[in-house]
């Protein structure tokens, strides 16, 4: 882990008064930082060993509801505690908040102190351990796309989410002039995250009005998931500090391009890229080919982890740079899987399916499980597709949350890799979203049918 603060340094900064608050957090099913704000003195005085939280936090939804149907917890079982065990190797400063540090926790069973298997951090750890057992290190990078709005979260919410005016008036893809006007938000995002120890590469304008992208340098998978979670949180907080809202909703308007979170992947061995083979026409090793064949074969199984909400599926539209098909291609942004850095040591596969709403721990756990299955089964990679991959209707990405839930629930591969309890837990989470959406009357139905139905 890429800590910027040792425990000893924290102790002395708390004693000296430059840090007074420690955010003790874990990453929940939705990818959010959840936890408590500790007084620095209490944290270094003993709370660093463990603290506790209600176990509904890994069986809830974005509204903090208490949906039924989870085996892990319920009203019947009394919604007891989990242990939050700080992983001190994740300690870092939070430079955009005064006098504040942050630590991430593992979530443990209250009685046995075993890791809770459906906790996102435990799920990714488990797949990374499987890759490491084969002698490889998974190196990943996630891209964060989001939209910035003129107004702040509170004002937009109080207005019923009607006044959604993006921060810019035109498509700002790679646009230096327009992004200069957004530097009061984007510059502190880059600089504060850098200071917090995240290897920030760059930000850029994206291909829609008000759309932004943040790139972070590739790193071991657990670090990348941590960077992503902290960066997403920071983007919302820093935008809020500047009076704006930042949304990671993948499709906030049907006529606008959506936001994605592409995942770049490569396996390394002894500090060298194991996906590279200079004798191959495209520079791909056999290992890479079977890993990619696994990614493709099992894409429907782990689509839920890349697209966990009803809204996620509205992003997959032809001609928007979002993919529609489970197909690979060479440096081609119309495909679900894009080969990048071909012929070079930077060779990697970019999965373009995940939306900006993905939980990086879950998405990467699903991808690694699929890639490993490809290696273990010795799968052969079909030749790359060329041209406009939007043309064609084979290998479609599951079309909605229901289809993704069915594929997840029926996945023998994921059941073997993650455990039945974990798969059943997340299949239930998908159902909860579907049930809630079926219950609620939307603006669209009212506008369409109020007078004319
Ligand atoms: P793009 O063509 O998508 O703009 P970039 O050059 O910006 O590609 O790289 C996108 C991401 O890929 C960056 O976050 C970078 O750190 C990451 N990346 C580069 N090399 C590798 C690699 N070998 N494995 C995984 N990710 C990588």
When pLDDT is averaged across residues 353-372 and rounded to a whole number, the result is: 98
Which of 136, 139, 140, 141 most suits a substitution to test ligand 1, by most atoms within 8 Å of the C-beta? 141
Q: Distance from the CA of 13 to the center of ligand 1, in angstroms?
A: 36
Predicted confidence (pLDDT) per residue in 410-443, tens digit: 999 999 999 999 999 999 999 999 999 999 999 9
- For atom 23 of ligand 1, which residue has the closest CA? 346
pLDDT surpassing 50 at residue 340: yes
The confidence band for 3, taking pLDDT boundaries of 50, 70 and 90, is low
Predicted confidence (pLDDT) per residue in 134-192, tens digit: 999 999 999 999 999 999 999 999 999 999 999 999 999 999 999 999 999 999 999 99
Q: Give the pLDDT confidence score for residue 158 in this predicted structure.
A: 97
The confidence band for 392, taking pLDDT boundaries of 50, 70 and 90, is confident
Which of 284, 337, 339, 340 most suits a substitution to test ligand 1, by most atoms within 8 Å of the C-beta? 340
Q: Give the pLDDT confidence score for residue 1 in this predicted structure.
A: 45
Domain 127-444 is in which class?
Answer: alpha beta
Predicted confidence (pLDDT) per residue in 35-63, tens digit: 999 999 999 999 999 999 999 999 999 99
pLDDT surpassing 90 at residue 16: yes
Predicted confidence (pLDDT) per residue in 76-130, tens digit: 999 999 999 999 999 999 999 999 999 999 999 999 999 999 999 999 999 999 9
Ligand 1 atom with the smallest distance to the CA of 275 is 23
Q: Where in the chain are all domains bearing CATH 3.10.20.70?
A: 7-116
- For atom 13 of ligand 1, which residue has the closest CA? 217
Predicted confidence (pLDDT) per residue in 199-255, tens digit: 999 999 999 999 999 999 999 999 999 999 999 999 999 999 999 999 999 999 999
Q: Give the pLDDT confidence score for residue 39 in this predicted structure.
A: 98
Which of 138, 215, 287 most suits a substitution to test ligand 1, by most atoms within 8 Å of the C-beta? 215
Q: Distance from the CA of 347 to the center of ligand 1, in angstroms?
A: 9
pLDDT surpassing 90 at residue 2: no
Ligand 1 pocket by Cβ (under 6 Å): 139-141, 201, 215-218, 264-266, 273, 340, 346, 348
- For atom 16 of ligand 1, which residue has the closest CA? 217
Domain 7-116 is in which class?
Answer: alpha beta
When pLDDT is averaged across residues 342-360 and rounded to a whole number, the result is: 97
Query: Tell me, what's the ipTM?
Result: 0.92
Among candidates 387, 377, 389, 374, which has minimal Cα distance to 299? 374
When pLDDT is averaged across residues 266-277 and rounded to a whole number, the result is: 97
Query: Nearest 10 degrees: CA dihedral of 263, 241, 245, 437?
Result: 80
When pLDDT is averaged across residues 266-290 and rounded to a whole number, the result is: 97
Q: Where in the chain are all domains bearing CATH 3.30.590.10?
A: 127-444
The confidence band for 4, taking pLDDT boundaries of 50, 70 and 90, is confident
């Amino acid at each position: 882990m890429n800590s910027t603060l040792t425990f000893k340094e924290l102790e002395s900064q708390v004693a000296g008064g430059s840090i007074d608050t420690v955010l003790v957090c874990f990453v929940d099913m939705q990818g959010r930082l959840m936890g408590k704000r500790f007084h620095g003195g209490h944290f270094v005085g003993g709370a660093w060993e463990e603290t506790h939280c209600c176990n509904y936090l890994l069986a809830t939804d974005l509204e903090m509801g208490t949906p039924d149907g989870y085996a892990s917890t319920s009203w019947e079982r009394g919604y007891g505690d989990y242990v939050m065990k700080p992983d001190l190797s994740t300690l870092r400063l939070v430079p955009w908040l005064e006098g504040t540090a942050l630590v991430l926790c593992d979530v443990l069973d209250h009685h046995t102190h075993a890791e809770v298997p459906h906790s996102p951090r435990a799920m990714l750890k488990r797949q990374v351990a499987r890759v490491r057992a084969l002698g490889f290190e998974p190196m990943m990078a996630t891209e964060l796309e989001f939209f910035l709005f003129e107004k702040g979260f509170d004002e937009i919410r109080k207005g019923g989410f009607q006044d959604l005016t993006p921060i810019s008036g035109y498509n700002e893809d790679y646009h230096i002039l327009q992004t200069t006007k957004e530097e009061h938000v984007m510059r502190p995002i880059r600089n504060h995250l850098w200071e917090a120890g995240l290897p920030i590469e760059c930000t850029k304008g994206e291909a829609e009005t008000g759309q932004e992208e943040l790139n972070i340098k590739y790193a071991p998978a657990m670090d990348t998931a941590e960077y992503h979670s902290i960066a997403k949180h920071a983007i919302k907080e820093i935008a809020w500090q500047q009076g704006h809202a930042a949304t990671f909703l993948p499709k906030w308007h049907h006529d606008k391009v959506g936001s994605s979170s592409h995942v770049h992947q490569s396996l390394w061995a002894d500090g060298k890229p194991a996906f590279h083979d200079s004798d191959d026409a495209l520079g791909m090793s056999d290992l890479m080919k079977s890993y990619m064949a696994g990614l493709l074969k099992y894409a429907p199984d782990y689509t839920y982890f890349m697209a966990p909400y009803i809204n996620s599926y509205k992003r997959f539209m032809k001609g928007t740079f979002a993919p529609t098909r489970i197909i690979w291609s060479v440096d081609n942004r119309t495909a679900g899987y894009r080969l990048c850095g071909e012929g070079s040591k930077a060779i990697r596969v970019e999965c373009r399916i995940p939306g900006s709403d993905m939980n990086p721990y879950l998405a990467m756990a699903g991808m690694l499980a699929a890639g490993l299955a490809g290696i273990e089964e010795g799968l052969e990679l079909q030749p790359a597709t060329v041209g406009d991959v939007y043309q064609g209707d084979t290998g479609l990405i599951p079309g909605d949350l229901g289809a993704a839930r069915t594929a997840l629930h029926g996945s023998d591969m994921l059941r073997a890799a993650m455990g039945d309890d974990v798969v059943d837990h997340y299949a239930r989470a998908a159902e909860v979203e579907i049930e809630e959406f079926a219950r609620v009357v939307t603006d669209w139905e009212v506008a369409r049918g109020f007078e004319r139905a």
